[in-house]
């Protein structure tokens, strides 16, 4: 049922979390001590958010993936001072999708998200509900927010130091929805996982421990046109994927990840103490880590033999010939000494400029289709654009990869990608951001802003 005038209250607050028994850590959360509630909104609704900042520092809440005008976006321009409340009314006018909300206070984003200021935002619509996908939240439709965090003696610690600006904050422990060594009881049947990479910097190569196939059904922007059978999927910070996996065989199995691609890259660049410099064969089981262990149980609900729909969402992709403007972006990290990036005098940039909140980098016309060619240097960078969904036209001068398809808002850039972007949301009162979603790269200046008018 539609709920006009729905009100959702969020309070950013400080708290204590015992990730391990008897070991308390100081953390941040929305309406709780770590992370925030999963928010569900329906296409067509107007949802008022009342976001109270009970922290001692400034914060913002950005609705990552939500298509709303610039002044409602929760970017660094909608700063919520300590003690203040921000009340945007968000018109929900986009297809069903798994979105993500998180702090975006410039210079503090990495620390605040690391400490817990993030949550999941689910958009539903009638079309998706008509497909018969698993949708019993917490039973056969599960939120899986993945984060790596550093623990010492069972307590969460904030990694600091010279390498943080270049490698991003990483950790020795994978949390799912805030839980270390997580496990889930699931029905003996088809289950939908809403995967969100809420890590600051780590890219995951996700698969199942027995290499079973699963069906990829959705990206950041919503459902794919047709489901895709896969055995592995890559998820970079800020990216989401919805998958359907069958537990009908009743066997326990785990979602696992390969080693951190960027960490091994940083290892080669020297100085990566924590992650070591192992370069084992990728197929070697010793290089995988468990993300989430599943125990299938009869009688938990769900539908044992539910079919996987092939056709999902019809969607019109703009014609590349309709593109009126091409823009070029180069994400870079200047290095003065090898392995010494991010220290004084070294800049993280887009097109040779570090972020300046007083400077508008690009001006786009409302309704235009453009091609953005984005390249990255030194390591893979997850590139995110606010206020739009885009399609990948080309990757490294070739056709896009299988994993590049669908409506996206964050994409990993290695050499170069060409993105087909349509700008349908105005950003006149406040600009939109584009940036690397390694949060420390963003905080250190690998970000720009554009108006849409
Ligand atoms: Cu998820 Cu500009 O951020
Ligand atoms: Cu965003
Ligand atoms: Cu980056």
pLDDT at position 302 is 66
Contact of 63 with 104, CB cutoff 8 Å:
no
* Cβ within 8 Å of residue 395, ≥6 positions away: 401, 404, 416, 417, 418
Spatial separation of the C-alpha atoms in residues 144 and 129, rounded to whole Å = 20
Q: For residue 424, is pLDDT > 90? A: yes
Q: For residue 279, is pLDDT > 50? A: no
pLDDT tier, 281 (very low <50, low <70, confident <90, very high otherwise): very low
Ligand nearest to the CA of 438: 3
pLDDT tier, 268 (very low <50, low <70, confident <90, very high otherwise): very low
Of the ranges 181-185, 276-280, 449-453, which one carries the lowest mean pLDDT score? 276-280
Cβ of 62 below 6 Å from ligand 1: yes
Kindly give the pairing relationship between strand 447-452 and strand 362-364: parallel
Protein residue closest via CA to atom 1 of ligand 1? 64
Model ipTM value: 0.99
Query: Count of residues for the chain?
Result: 453
Contact of 203 with 193, CB cutoff 8 Å:
no
Q: For residue 261, is pLDDT > 70? A: no
Cβ of 435 below 6 Å from ligand 1: yes
* Ligand 1 atom with minimal separation from the 75 CA: 2
395-417 per-position pLDDT tens digit? 999 999 999 999 999 999 999 99
Contact of 132 with 311, CB cutoff 8 Å:
no
Spatial separation of the C-alpha atoms in residues 140 and 138, rounded to whole Å = 6
pLDDT at position 299 is 78
99-125 per-position pLDDT tens digit? 999 999 999 999 999 999 999 999 999
Copy the structure tokens of residue 50. 């009342």
Task: Tell me the CA–centroid distance for residue 152 and ligand 2, in Å.
Answer: 31
pLDDT at position 298 is 85
Map tokens 């979105």 to a residue: 99
Task: Tell me the CA–centroid distance for residue 233 and ligand 3, in Å.
Answer: 20
342-371 per-position pLDDT tens digit? 444 558 999 999 999 999 999 999 999 999
Question: Which domains are present in the chain?
Answer: 6-126 (2.60.40.420), 141-297 (2.60.40.420), 320-452 (2.60.40.420)
Virtual CA dihedral for 235, 238, 242, 245, nearest 10 degrees? 40
Q: For residue 137, is pLDDT > 50? A: yes
pLDDT tier, 219 (very low <50, low <70, confident <90, very high otherwise): very high
431-442 per-position pLDDT tens digit? 999 999 999 999
Q: ∠ CA(368), CA(371), CA(377), 5° rounding?
A: 140
Ligand nearest to the CA of 101: 1
Map tokens 């969402």 to a residue: 313
56-80 per-position pLDDT tens digit? 999 999 999 999 999 999 999 999 9
33-43 average pLDDT score: 97
**Phi then psi for 394, rounded to 5 degrees?**
-145, 150
Beta bridge partners of 229: 215
pLDDT at position 342 is 44
Spatial separation of the C-alpha atoms in residues 149 and 169, rounded to whole Å = 8
The distance from CA 400 to its chain's CA centroid, rounded to whole angstroms, is 20
Query: The pTM is what?
Result: 0.93
Protein residue closest via CA to atom 3 of ligand 1? 64
Task: Tell me the CA–centroid distance for residue 116 and ligand 1, in Å.
Answer: 15
* Cβ within 8 Å of residue 341, ≥6 positions away: 165, 166, 333, 334, 335, 348, 378
pLDDT at position 4 is 61
Ligand nearest to the CA of 118: 1
Cβ of 104 below 6 Å from ligand 1: yes
282-322 per-position pLDDT tens digit? 444 458 999 999 999 987 776 666 788 888 998 889 999 99
Task: Tell me the CA–centroid distance for residue 172 and ligand 3, in Å.
Answer: 21
Contact of 376 with 331, CB cutoff 8 Å:
yes
Spatial separation of the C-alpha atoms in residues 385 and 411, rounded to whole Å = 9
Task: Tell me the CA–centroid distance for residue 382 and ligand 3, in Å.
Answer: 6
129-150 average pLDDT score: 95
242-258 average pLDDT score: 96
Task: For 221-278, give the DSSP string.
Answer: TEEEEEEEEESEEEE-TT-EEEEEEE-TT---EEEEE---HHHHHHHHTS--TTT---
Contact of 183 with 205, CB cutoff 8 Å:
no
pLDDT at position 286 is 59
* Ligand 1 atom with minimal separation from the 102 CA: 1
Contact of 96 with 15, CB cutoff 8 Å:
no
* Cβ within 8 Å of residue 147, ≥6 positions away: 118, 171, 174, 175, 178, 198, 199, 200
Q: What percentage of residues in the chain have a pLDDT greater than 90? A: 84
Task: Tell me the CA–centroid distance for residue 388 and ligand 2, in Å.
Answer: 9
Cβ of 381 below 6 Å from ligand 1: no
pLDDT at position 307 is 80
157-205 per-position pLDDT tens digit? 999 887 898 999 999 999 999 999 999 999 999 999 999 999 999 999 9
Q: CB-based burial of residue 319 (10 Å sphere; 0-12 exposed, 13-18 middle, 19+ buried)?
A: exposed
365-386 average pLDDT score: 97
Spatial separation of the C-alpha atoms in residues 52 and 40, rounded to whole Å = 19
Nearest to 453, CA basis, from 374, 368, 382: 368
pLDDT at position 272 is 38
Cβ of 386 below 6 Å from ligand 1: yes
Task: Tell me the CA–centroid distance for residue 410 and ligand 2, in Å.
Answer: 8
Cβ of 240 below 6 Å from ligand 1: no
Q: Residue 35 to residues 102, 103, 223, 308, 396: CA-CA distances in angstroms? A: 9, 11, 25, 31, 36
pLDDT at position 347 is 87
227-233 average pLDDT score: 97
């Amino acid at each position: 049922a539609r709920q006009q005038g729905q009100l959702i209250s969020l309070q950013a607050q400080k708290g204590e979390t015992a990730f391990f028994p008897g070991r308390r850590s100081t953390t941040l959360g929305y309406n709780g001590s770590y992370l925030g509630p999963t928010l569900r909104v329906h296409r067509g609704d107007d949802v008022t958010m009342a976001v109270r900042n009970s922290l001692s520092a400034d914060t913002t809440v950005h609705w990552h993936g939500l298509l709303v005008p610039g002044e409602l976006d929760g970017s660094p321009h909608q700063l919520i001072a300590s003690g203040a409340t921000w009340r945007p009314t968000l018109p929900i006018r986009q297809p069903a999708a798994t979105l993500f909300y998180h702090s975006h206070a410039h210079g503090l984003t990495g620390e605040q998200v690391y400490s817990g200021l993030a949550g999941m935002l689910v958009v539903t619509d009638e079309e998706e509900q008509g497909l018969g996908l698993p949708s019993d939240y917490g039973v056969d439709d599960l939120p899986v927010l993945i984060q790596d965090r550093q623990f010492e003696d069972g307590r969460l610690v904030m990694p600091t130091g010279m390498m943080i600006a270049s490698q991003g904050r990483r950790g020795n422990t994978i949390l799912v929805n805030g839980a270390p060594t997580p496990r889930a009881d699931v029905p003996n049947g088809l289950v939908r996982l809403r995967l969100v990479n809420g890590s600051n910097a780590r890219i995951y190569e996700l698969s199942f421990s027995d290499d079973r196939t699963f069906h990829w059904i959705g990206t950041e922007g919503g459902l794919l046109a047709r489901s895709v059978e896969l055995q592995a999927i890559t998820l970079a910070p800020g990216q989401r994927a919805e998958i359907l996996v069958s537990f009908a065989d009743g066997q326990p199995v785990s979602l696992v990840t390969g080693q951190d691609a960027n960490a091994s890259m940083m290892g080669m660049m020297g100085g990566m103490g924590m992650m070591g410099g192992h370069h084992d064969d990728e197929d070697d089981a010793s290089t995988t880590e468990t993300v989430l262990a599943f125990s299938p149980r009869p009688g938990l609900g769900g539908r044992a033999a539910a079919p996987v729909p092939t056709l999902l969402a019809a969607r019109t992709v703009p014609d590349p010939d309709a593109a009126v403007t091409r823009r070029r972006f180069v994400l870079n990290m200047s290095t003065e000494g090898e392995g010494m990036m991010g220290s004084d005098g070294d800049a993280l940039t887009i097109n040779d400029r570090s972020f300046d909140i007083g400077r508008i980098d690009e001006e786009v016309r409302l309704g235009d289709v453009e091609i953005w060619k984005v390249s990255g240097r030194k390591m893979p960078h997850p590139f995110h654009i606010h206020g739009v969904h885009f399609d990948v036209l080309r990757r490294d001068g070739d056709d896009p990869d299988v994993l590049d398809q669908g409506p996206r808002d964050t994409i990993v850039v290695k050499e170069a990608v060409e993105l087909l972007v349509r700008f349908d949301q105005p950003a006149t009162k406040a600009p939109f951001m584009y940036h690397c979603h390694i949060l420390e790269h963003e905080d250190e200046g690998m970000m720009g802003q554009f108006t849409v008018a």
